[in-house]
Amino acid sequence: MIPGVFAEGRVFLMDTWQVAGFLFSNIVVGVAVYYFTRYYDKTRLRKRAAMCIDAVNCVRDGRPIPSELQDTIIAPVYETLRNLASYIETQEKNRAEMLTMINSLAINISDVESLMRTMLPKLLDITKSEWSAFYLANNASQKLELKASIGFSSDMYKDFDMNIGEGFIGRVAVTKQMKVINDLPQDTIFCVKTFLGRIIPNSLVIAPIIYNEELLGVLVLGSVSNFSQKQLEFLELIKVYVGALVFNGIAYENKMRLVSQLELQSRQMNDLHDELEKQLTEQTRFLVMVFNSIKEYAIYSTNKDYSVLGWNDGAEAMFGYSLQDICGKHVGLIYSVEEIESGMLREKMEMLKTVGRYENRCWIKRSDGTSVLINELSFPMYNQVNDFVGVVSVSRIIKNEKQH
């Protein structure tokens, strides 16, 4: 015996045959309902197909469509087409607004934070949202940095940086898939505090912002109502444009950072140059003082063509020519005709290039026409790339020789 229950709640007992009969009757009823429904649906479908064919024939033959067909077949089609046209028009309008915004922001490129302060209000208007926030991905530190927020409470700034992979936002950054949350916890940071209490969005969309397959950030949008499928489809489109803008903003920041570094390095180089120039000036002044303080020795320099470049006070006292008198002139002016004709200058040049020094005794002539015997020691001069550029000579008078 199997226990059963009356409608009034009283228990009764059924034997096995009663149970089998009960189950069989229910199965028969279910099968009958199933086949009746299928037959009814097929019959209705056939009837509608025939009505559609009649409507097409009327249009083809130029006959007016009966009112019954207009109400049953044509009106729903027209309504569907009108809805579709309205949807396409809305999508095109949103797309146009988005492109206008993109073009405007692309012309006036700025850093990411300024970009978001301009773009988020427009995104709220286009997506019909009430809250928004943008987190910039720092792949070096594996952090998401809050760059801009509209509508949300200041509590979210307590968690200014968020680890990639942590929480709703961090997990979206890892999966790179848009997520819709319609049941936010009461302790969420995405809320608005008013004198009436905390207001929590009814729906939250977290969208990864990607450009060239690289995660650039995460966009958060909140609404008091659930996001429709059309809004979500439009957000998928928005992500592409926002990604391009954020990429340009990051490139702008990198460029400005590089410009700032170059400006700093330039200032440092200028300061260093000024300091070195000052030191060089002081050292040059000191060397000139030393150079001119040596009265017993004539020190002078020439280029490789023997044109005089430098001339100390000792050379002026020994030869009788001032620097202004002899600078730029051929050094042969101070040598006797015999020394010049003997090829002394040519021999000096060869020895300087091969041996690295040249020493000899020679007669020189002073500006007053007198001659004196000197001992001359010469050295080659080289530039920074080791090219021979001139000669430095140090001379002194041999005093035990008679002047003539």
Q: Where are the domains of the chain?
A: 1-47, 87-258, 294-397
Distance CA 280, CA 259 (A): 30
Distance CA 227, CA 220 (A): 13
**pLDDT at residue 391, rounded to an integer:** 92
SS3 state at 199: strand
pLDDT band at 378 (very low <50, low <70, confident <90, very high): very high
**Beta carbons of 383 and 389 less than 8 angstroms apart:** yes
pLDDT band at 219 (very low <50, low <70, confident <90, very high): very high
Distance CA 124, CA 181 (A): 18
What does the pLDDT average to over 251-263? 86
The answer, yes or no, to whether residue 170 has pLDDT greater than 60, is: yes
Q: Which CATH code, of 3.30.70.270, 3.40.50.12280, 3.30.70.100, 3.30.450.20, is assigned to 294-397?
A: 3.30.450.20
The residue count of the chain comes to 404
Residue 375 DSSP code: E
Distance CA 323, CA 8 (A): 136
Residue of 234, 217, 218 lying closest to 129 (CA atoms): 234
Residue 227 DSSP code: P
From residue 353, alpha-carbon distances to 294, 348, 378 in Å are 27, 9, 11
Distance of CA 105 to the CA centre of its chain: 16
Q: Which CATH architecture fits 87-258?
A: 2-Layer Sandwich (3.30)
**pLDDT at residue 196, rounded to an integer:** 62
Exposure on the CB side of residue 264, measured as CA atoms within 13 A: 6
Q: For the beta carbon of residue 378, count every other beta carbon within 10 angstroms.
A: 20
**Beta carbons of 165 and 173 less than 8 angstroms apart:** yes
What does the pLDDT average to over 216-222? 90
**Is 104 or 178 the better-scoring residue by pLDDT?**
178
Identical fold at 87-258 and 294-397? yes
Rounded to 5 degrees, what are φ and ψ at 192?
-125, 130
**pLDDT at residue 218, rounded to an integer:** 92
pLDDT digits (tens, 9 = 90+) for 360-371: 888 888 888 888
pLDDT digits (tens, 9 = 90+) for 25-57: 555 555 555 554 555 455 666 666 666 666 666
* pTM for this model (two decimals): 0.49
